[in-house]
Structure 1
């Protein structure tokens, strides 16, 4: 939920202090690159529409695939991090595969047609084998719980499954913040209610989404503030002594103004009576709906606030207290708390939350998004992955999302190991999730699916630990620099991951802005480059180099020839549009 714009600064690793010191904050016209090998975009379209049946898989669980046709001389190639582990001919439009039993592994499945020795990629899909979805969270949302049929619900979830969304935030599904699920006089859940904006919510719809999601291995998290009371009435059992106040004499309640709809009253998260009260209401939720956990929200910096007795409350400390208590009360459920503009994040990530979630407002540059991810890595001792709530094309109110701004933002987030909350019944552009004025065109939907396939297939390089380094990189064909971005160049960052050096190339050659949100939808496509040479100094013996890009052949990996001149590795990169990856192995 949008905050009162606090600029939160947190120290982080020395390596990224160096990376960010040279950040380019200018939005002046882009500098033209002098590369001579710019080429049109090599658009890739799946020929066989390869799909699988679930969002993720447990170890030992079969993966069921479908295609729309069978082409002769086509093989199915199963890969893990560029290495083929199995090949078999494509003989049917549906088949099954049992991945290795290893937990928390990503795979790329490629359909490759051989024509006189030339290979053509006809389809690709990523596979995530993970027993716990929060290890590699790919978070989506739902925001409409009215009279929606089974067929409509299934269509929404099938689409999100194809994007590998493994966790769903049920936004504004509840009745009142302090009484999320209305209970009748017999102790049973009501069949329907209205949310705070008077939209109808049906128990059958919420329950149906949860159950269908579970069939697709998608977890369901119910949204609610950790400290909100909405129109408390006599009989609710609510006490004003649980509230936060703007003064020491408890005359002025701290509240979140919703205009004509009234105020959300803010409670003290550290008040044990409030905790016991809201936990009892949460228990009612779990007794009636099979939610997997609670997505908790806050409201950012509230200024100086006081409890009923007049003592000042340190909200980040109160968040910590509440999160420790809620995980103790519901040890078998998942929990995540939104850090609005990183407010209180250090305290939040010191508790047993299952992943880091940051709603980004004042950090407007691509480098700022990376800064948030790196802060979360450090605060969690590199134990938790990050989901960013970062709303694209925010000030636009009609038409389609701007494809270049969405793809480049996701390229940056994914390349640094994060995920982006953006997909639900529609694509997200505002903090009020039901807002649906912008649409995804066919190009964006198709290309974004390749990005999610890529994030899943190579999750063990992108999101599974490792340490970032500053690469020594040069090219006579293309302007290159270390991260952060510079107009006209490709920015390169490297990471060491279990005996590999992984290089992410993010292309800012030809873009019009370094601001990720792109309010006016003016971001331009980067200039694509093909078959360019790049030289990178390696700190290890290199025996193999391979390449993959979500912008090229569906993310299929290919091994590259290279020259090694005393640790200087020179390689010809097949393609760079938005984002490409090189991997050195010893």
Structure 2
């Protein structure tokens, strides 16, 4: 929203000036632009990003991996492996390139990937750097959204400064936003006048003009932003009010008539208006009836001029909230909410462009959600009833309900709102990361997205978008990269038709709530697409549940480890349980061992979440069979011993296995085989009393050859009386999940692992599963 901070009240502010950074003036938008965003986060990988914000199905993606050797020694013939995953499964074969780097030197690798042909899917891209012996020394991830339109999974950003910038600067700004997978940009206050947005003519647009705040805007800067954004598959949304005209509209030759206006009285003498700050281009904005056909034809015609002159992709339509009772010039009461929908529908039909409308404080949400807008957008305010984390979730739920699940909701929620008043653009403060990340967790987990990033990687702290009194620390920038990677990688679990579930989530030893109460872990579940999705948002130690963290004083989270969880299934059975968090291991998925049970509350599963910082997500793959969960005992070796398993080694050779907590796949322990000399080792678990039928065996295994490759390294599955089936391991030092479907005919199944090594070979085993199909 442009002009007021809450419905019924107009906020007057001081004009803030932006210092435009003319970066990279002598460079093109290639590698130099990419490296401007790179920040060292480990011993080898400084950044991983892609060449576009999203991709059409089947489109080739370039994945850039920037390396700097900070290990302290030179590396010859190291390798970088890129793994492509949808949820916890590899989508396509991995790719590997070699590198050699002296200590302190840098290089960049480019991987290409032809994206799958399935539309509207998210992928996690895991990147591992290894030394010459194949040991992983660093990991960083990114994500890829394969979608043909941005409104299916919107990740909205903004631009609000259009001074005399070079093409390299505009390319750098959009490149940085692309690295957060921002797939659409709102061009805030780019226009000349609200009722005459285009300066100049369609045949000859003006080279420059002053916007409503008397800031100079340059045509070439607008065109450069549009061009670079389109190159990164980012949509460009031109901003304007739905019903505003500046002072002097009746004398400037525009043709706007006061008879189309909105009035405070019934005799057409008190037109609804708001005042603007001193020094701006006009003293007031005057408002018009969006249902008035003459106003509709006029404004949409002016917007068509904009689209003729500039290659925008859509119209971001704004309002200022609930004005109370308003009238036509002839005294009729105006239903603004239906008027909004009427104008928006006509704009969609006449312009043929993407249309997004700001339902300030949810005003008109039900009516416009049923219109032809392409996505929902709500600017939240306490005066309109949006105060808590739960309130944000309610806004997203209500938008989904009002649109019958067909439209996504973008939330405009300005963080640290009072705190920013202590600073200026010239002497900015820093956002409090603890408030920012919790609010993003609440919005993302609820199925929405948050417009917050723009303008040279600035973040919104105010409804006047050019206000940048607060800035992001480098650490928070990196954390937000993880959150946006997570939003993309798991978009099919977060906001792809999931609905709220009443299934109970119980945490042992941790205070929890189902409504986001202060000083609790907020838990809720959703279901859809064959999964139940559980969310845990950590508000422990926080005395308020207000999402804005207005004074920027929320504390760091009280981190919890090894949290026992009981989840009531409601219906069906759990086939697998997986855990992921943007705060843990760069957002990777980990399969969790679980047990099953039932009581008066129904059937449940129990599992342990390894770590909770701000936000954890657990997703349960559901089935309708009777097999329940994991049938193996001590499947993740979390007892710290071989309980349930039997080991074998040749006569005359000592056992060559161990259980420790180093380099586990998940949890606290894993099993490993190793010896410097030649050896053979096996472990297995025989399950009896099984119902006959189809079963799936899964295991995470990491096989590494520090010397010669093993002659045998495999998973073995054998139904009683049947032939053993072998799955050979890839010996490359990477954790990989192996899956085998077997048919049990005599009630028994043996699951095991075996290695025959020439020496200096490691086989690590974790998170083994046996599930009835």
The TM-score, its normalising length taken from structure 1, stands at: 0.90
Q: What SS does structure 1 have at the residue aligned with 2:327?
A: coil
CA distance change for structure 1 residues 310 and 514 in 2, over 3 Å: closer, same or farther? Answer: same
Q: Mapping of 1:325-474 within 5 angstroms?
A: 325-331=346-352, 333-362=353-382, 363-397=386-420, 398=423, 399-425=429-455, 426-474=458-506
Counterpart position of 1:558 = 590
C-alpha displacement at 1:326, in angstroms?
0.9
Q: How many residues align?
A: 548
Q: What SS does structure 2 have at the residue aligned with 1:543?
A: strand
- 1:177·1:224 contact (CA, 8 Å) conserved in 2? yes
Q: What SS does structure 2 have at the residue aligned with 1:276?
A: helix
CA–CA separation in structure 2 for the residues paired with 1:407 and 1:118: 33
CA–CA separation in structure 2 for the residues paired with 1:211 and 1:221: 13
Q: What SS does structure 2 have at the residue aligned with 1:501?
A: strand
1:65 pairs with one of 63, 66, 71? 63
CA distance change for structure 1 residues 548 and 473 in 2, over 3 Å: closer, same or farther? Answer: same
CA–CA separation in structure 1 for the residues paired with 2:44 and 2:258: 62
CA–CA separation in structure 1 for the residues paired with 2:301 and 2:168: 34
Map Cα deviations across residues 457-511 of structure 1 (whole Å, 9 max, x no partner): 0000001002211232223332333x21233321211111211111111111122
CA–CA separation in structure 2 for the residues paired with 1:171 and 1:515: 27
CA–CA separation in structure 1 for the residues paired with 2:389 and 2:329: 42
Counterpart position of 2:96 = 90
CA distance change for structure 1 residues 248 and 4 in 2, over 3 Å: closer, same or farther? Answer: farther
CA–CA separation in structure 2 for the residues paired with 1:470 and 1:163: 33
Q: Mapping of 1:109-508 within 5 angstroms?
A: 109-112=125-128, 122-184=139-201, 187-231=203-247, 232=249, 233-260=251-278, 261=280, 262-331=283-352, 333-362=353-382, 363-397=386-420, 398=423, 399-425=429-455, 426-481=458-513, 483-508=514-539
Counterpart position of 2:83 = 77
More moved, 566-575 vs 374-383? 566-575
2:560 pairs with one of 529, 542, 562? 529
- 1:121·1:553 contact (CA, 8 Å) conserved in 2? no
CA distance change for structure 1 residues 488 and 517 in 2, over 3 Å: closer, same or farther? Answer: closer
- 2:419·2:552 contact (CA, 8 Å) conserved in 1? yes
- 1:44·1:554 contact (CA, 8 Å) conserved in 2? no
Counterpart position of 2:606 = 570
C-alpha displacement at 1:4, in angstroms?
7.5
Structure label with greater radius of gyration: 2
CA–CA separation in structure 2 for the residues paired with 1:558 and 1:310: 64
CA–CA separation in structure 2 for the residues paired with 1:300 and 1:530: 44
CA–CA separation in structure 2 for the residues paired with 1:86 and 1:501: 25
CA–CA separation in structure 1 for the residues paired with 2:137 and 2:440: 27
Tell me if 1:583 matches 2:640: no
- 1:139·1:168 contact (CA, 8 Å) conserved in 2? yes
C-alpha displacement at 1:564, in angstroms?
1.8
Map Cα deviations across residues 20-47 of structure 1 (whole Å, 9 max, x no partner): xxxxxxxxxxxxxxxxxxxxxxx98695
CA–CA separation in structure 2 for the residues paired with 1:55 and 1:288: 25
More moved, 454-463 vs 557-566? 557-566
More moved, 548-557 vs 490-499? 490-499
Gapped runs of 5+ residues in structure 2? Answer: 9-39, 69-74, 99-108, 424-428, 623-773
CA–CA separation in structure 2 for the residues paired with 1:151 and 1:405: 33
Counterpart position of 1:16 = none
Which structure ranks higher in relative contact order (CA pairs < 8 Å, sequence separation ≥ 6)?
1
- 1:46·1:123 contact (CA, 8 Å) conserved in 2? no
Q: What SS does structure 1 have at the residue aligned with 2:186?
A: strand
- 2:574·2:620 contact (CA, 8 Å) conserved in 1? yes
CA distance change for structure 1 residues 117 and 480 in 2, over 3 Å: closer, same or farther? Answer: farther
C-alpha displacement at 1:5, in angstroms?
4.0
- 2:81·2:129 contact (CA, 8 Å) conserved in 1? yes
CA distance change for structure 1 residues 235 and 6 in 2, over 3 Å: closer, same or farther? Answer: closer
Is the strand fraction higher in 1 or 2? 2
Map Cα deviations across residues 163-184 of structure 1 (whole Å, 9 max, x no partner): 0000000000000000000225
CA–CA separation in structure 2 for the residues paired with 1:370 and 1:341: 13
CA–CA separation in structure 2 for the residues paired with 1:544 and 1:119: 27
C-alpha displacement at 1:323, in angstroms?
1.0
Map Cα deviations across residues 193-220 of structure 1 (whole Å, 9 max, x no partner): 1001110011111111111100000000
C-alpha displacement at 1:290, in angstroms?
0.4
CA–CA separation in structure 2 for the residues paired with 1:272 and 1:56: 38
- 1:551·1:579 contact (CA, 8 Å) conserved in 2? yes
Q: Mapping of 1:46-57 within 5 angstroms?
A: 47-48=44-45, 49-57=47-55
CA–CA separation in structure 2 for the residues paired with 1:44 and 1:460: 28
Gapped runs of 5+ residues in structure 1? Answer: 8-42
Q: What SS does structure 2 have at the residue aligned with 1:283?
A: helix
- 1:73·1:89 contact (CA, 8 Å) conserved in 2? no
C-alpha displacement at 1:113, in angstroms?
5.5
CA–CA separation in structure 2 for the residues paired with 1:284 and 1:475: 58
Map Cα deviations across residues 219-275 of structure 1 (whole Å, 9 max, x no partner): 000000010111313322221111111111111111022142411010111111111
- 2:79·2:134 contact (CA, 8 Å) conserved in 1? no
Q: What SS does structure 2 have at the residue aligned with 1:157?
A: helix
More moved, 346-355 vs 113-122? 113-122
- 1:3·1:301 contact (CA, 8 Å) conserved in 2? no
CA distance change for structure 1 residues 559 and 121 in 2, over 3 Å: closer, same or farther? Answer: farther
CA distance change for structure 1 residues 162 and 499 in 2, over 3 Å: closer, same or farther? Answer: same
Counterpart position of 1:509 = 540
More moved, 197-206 vs 528-537? 528-537
Aligned-CA RMSD value: 2.0
CA distance change for structure 1 residues 402 and 4 in 2, over 3 Å: closer, same or farther? Answer: closer
CA–CA separation in structure 1 for the residues paired with 2:143 and 2:160: 27
Q: What SS does structure 1 have at the residue aligned with 2:542?
A: coil
The TM-score, its normalising length taken from structure 2, stands at: 0.69
C-alpha displacement at 1:390, in angstroms?
0.5
CA–CA separation in structure 2 for the residues paired with 1:205 and 1:298: 26
CA distance change for structure 1 residues 183 and 89 in 2, over 3 Å: closer, same or farther? Answer: closer
